[in-house]
Structure 1
Amino acid sequence: MGIEGKVVAITGASSGIGRATAKLLAGHGAFVVLGARRKDALDEVVEAITTSGGTAASKATDVRRRDDLEALVAFAVERGGRLDVIINCAGIGPISRIDALDVAGWDAMIDVNLRGTLYGIAAALPVFSRQASGHVINVISTAGIKMVPTMGVYGATKNAVRTVTEILRQEAGPHLRVTEVSPGMIATNFGDSITDYPTKAMIERQLGAIAIPPDAIARGILYAIEQPPEVDVGSIVIRPTAQG
């Protein structure tokens, strides 16, 4: 048990759950390789980790580009000698009512939430196959469990990832672990991508009232990784006790 020395690639690592997870795993001895679009924000996370005695590296990564995910995984293997875990954490949520017809927002969520996760899986699986070991962790959402207005397309992308994750788990064989983590209302910058003002105001009120810190999700991810190789934690749901 334990994660000391494990090489972990994390997308969406410049903020929110990805950043909290990177800091926690590094604090437990993992070498974390961080990917996100904002290199300056990534550098700040790396500096915080190394200042605290951890080890980290970063590479600018746009999960909408398959080449970027392949480059991130190759960078992790180059720097760490192997890849033990990939955490597909990048996600956006420009949610709105379906009849608002925010087609650009739909496309963006499909590209980042679904396609980005698939690209991460596609980049990591060949490495895991060569090693005969590996762990895929996909950060999903409780929006894919409980259907609520304004989250139709967002929830659909998350349910698609849930389906992919479960089928991958069934297909994986004995040497690959697969975990899906579904956060509820978490204190992140989720509302930043929402352009529909009434929806944005509603979400920000809910976040302000009941959201829990991203560290709560990071601890769940740590738990899944630190289990013995023969233990596969398939699904974790973490939400505020006040969330319906």
Structure 2
Amino acid sequence: MRETLCEISLKQRAIRIEDPWMDTKEFRELLKIHFKPRMNELGFKGSNHHFVKVTDNHFIYMFVIQANKYGGSCVMEMGATLDFLVTEKKQSEITVYDCDFRKRLRARPSLVQKIFKNTQEKWHENVENEEDAINTIHDMLNLVNGQLMGYYSQFSTFPNSITDITLDEIISGSRRLYDLGSPPKLRLALLIAKTHYYIGNLEQSDKIASWGLKNIGNATGLINDFRKLIQEE
């Protein structure tokens, strides 16, 4: 009798549970030794898997090594936010998940992968022994060295890195917004409107906030935020 898809899935899960993956705690100890020093060199402070860099131009850069909830692997995620947008939290409490701009740090697919459309994201495996785990960490560091600061360089100038994004670009989208890892249109509009408001450019803040309010759709939780930015006549 053939096995059902459900039975096969359960069997594969059972095999996965029995796999000798390195414990996440052990892997993080290796990250502390082999990964954390490089992040410190780049100006980031933090633990063995969560790092933050506070700049002198309002931007806060966040970086996290996110463990797979099933164990055995992890991914790296970058984020950026503005200090005046996170006033309800201490800077030491901010995580990538508080950032409006977020992007995974991942290996670029090879030509062969593109041809066969095999571009599924590859998680970094903790593997079963220390030597292989260190090799995995070196692969992760190669991605950091090749991509990390290039991503954050997009936020190097305040306020232009934000205010140069026009309403037309918000509406139509662009490669730049994709590279920034920008949020959905309404949240992006709110962020840009708040930035214009912060620097005293009330006319632009009003214009973008008014557009957001008119196109609010199901995002009713943002109504009050937009209204606070619209100037009374």
TM range (shorter): under 0.3
Higher relative contact order (CA 8 A, sep 6+): 1
TM-score calculated relative to the size of structure 1: 0.27
Q: Report the structure number with the largest CA radius of gyration.
A: 2
User: What is the TM-score with the length of structure 2 in the denominator?
Assistant: 0.28
